Amino acid sequence: MKTKYKALTIWITGASSGIGEALAIAFAKQGARIILSGRDNEKLEAVKKRCKHANKHIVVPFDINDVSQAKEAYNSAKVQAGQIDWLINNAGISQRSLIMETDEAVERQIMETDYFAQTRLTRLVLPDMIEAGGGKIVMISSVAGLLGTQYRGAYGAAKAAIHMWANSLRAELHEQGIEVATIFPGFIQTNVSVNALTGDGSAQGTMDEATNKGLTATAFAKQAVKALTKGEEYIIIAGTKEKLATRVNQLSPPKLYKLIRESQVR
């Protein structure tokens, strides 16, 4: 059944840049109304202007880690949009530090942003979706959530956690019309590595070589829209090496981790 995007309102977090920005532009091109969220109102307004039919879209800035702001943002989004059909949980932060050099407070910060903030916002949205007869929740996990690698211990754990939570949500709410999809990006050309937290909580501030050579955010969004339109629930969007690694992991985890130990993943 073809997705009727012109009838959909899609809420995207982390929409001020990178993957979120690209998804907003791509779904707006399909005719959907977009609710753009992030912390920077000025950047969100700039992305809105780049979306097709800019005047129909809505900007709702808030800090996803702030419980009260999340509730206010949902109420604001609901009042302005009337109904939210899809929620794309894209906001997040990465990591570039070895486990033994990472403060526990930093690990908690990553888990708060990449796991608890996502589940919190989803629980806010779900009751109205269920009452309306259905909706779609999209979690942006990571290939790092499927494969543990150096320098991403807490990040990989948080992304694996959101993947497993999404699996449980899918099983629990299928009969209520809730669809759940999880996307696993590989290396994508965004500022994710520039903003990634180091062991003391400061930003790395530089672009990883692997990230710089990854898929463009536009290419990622194109594949994501195609997969979600087809109703896919488990979506890996990555380069050849990352996809191969996920296949090797399915066949022989010990072989994969031998390769990982010998590779330069930072």
- Average pLDDT over the chain reads 95
User: Is the pLDDT confidence value at 124 over 60?
Assistant: yes
Query: What confidence score (pLDDT) does residue 39 get?
Result: 97
Summarised one tens digit per residue, pLDDT across range 93-104 is 999 999 999 999
Summarised one tens digit per residue, pLDDT across range 174-189 is 999 999 999 999 999 9
Listed in sequence order, the residues at least 6 apart from 1 whose beta carbon sits closer than 8 Å to its beta carbon are none
β-pair type (188-189, 33-36): unpaired
Which position has the token pair 């977090």? 13
Query: What confidence score (pLDDT) does residue 149 get?
Result: 92
Query: What confidence score (pLDDT) does residue 197 get?
Result: 97
User: Is the pLDDT confidence value at 136 over 60?
Assistant: yes
Which position has the token pair 């982390």? 14
Amino acid present at 62: F
Start-to-end CA span in the chain (Å): 42
* Range list of H helices, 55-116: 67-81, 104-111
Beta strands in the chain (DSSP E): 9-12, 33-36, 58-59, 86-89, 135-140, 178-185, 188-189, 215-216, 234-237
Query: What confidence score (pLDDT) does residue 224 get?
Result: 98
What 3-state DSSP class applies to 144?
helix
Summarised one tens digit per residue, pLDDT across range 138-194 is 999 999 999 989 999 999 999 999 999 999 999 999 999 999 999 999 999 999 999
User: Is the pLDDT confidence value at 1 over 60?
Assistant: no
**Segment among 104-108, 136-140, 207-211 with least mean pLDDT:** 207-211
Q: 5-240 falls under which CATH superfamily?
A: NAD(P)-binding Rossmann-like Domain (3.40.50.720)
**Structural domain spans, the chain:** 5-240
Q: pLDDT confidence of 109, banded at 50, 70, 90? A: very high
Angle at the Cα of 139 (from 171 to 203), degrees rounded to 5?
Answer: 145
**Cα dihedral 138→99→216→243 (10° resolution):** -80
Mean pLDDT across 36-47: 98
Which position has the token pair 């809730």? 178
Q: What count of Cα atoms within 13 Å lies in the side-chain half-sphere of residue 11? A: 31
- Do residues 10 and 37 touch, judged by C-beta distance below 8 A? no
Catalytically active residues are: 155
Q: pLDDT confidence of 263, banded at 50, 70, 90? A: confident
- Give the residue among 137, 128, 126 at the shortest CA–CA distance from 233: 137
**Cα dihedral 242→245→247→252 (10° resolution):** -170
Query: What confidence score (pLDDT) does residue 259 get?
Result: 85
Query: What confidence score (pLDDT) does residue 69 get?
Result: 98
Query: What confidence score (pLDDT) does residue 2 get?
Result: 66
Q: pLDDT confidence of 52, banded at 50, 70, 90? A: very high
Query: What confidence score (pLDDT) does residue 210 get?
Result: 85
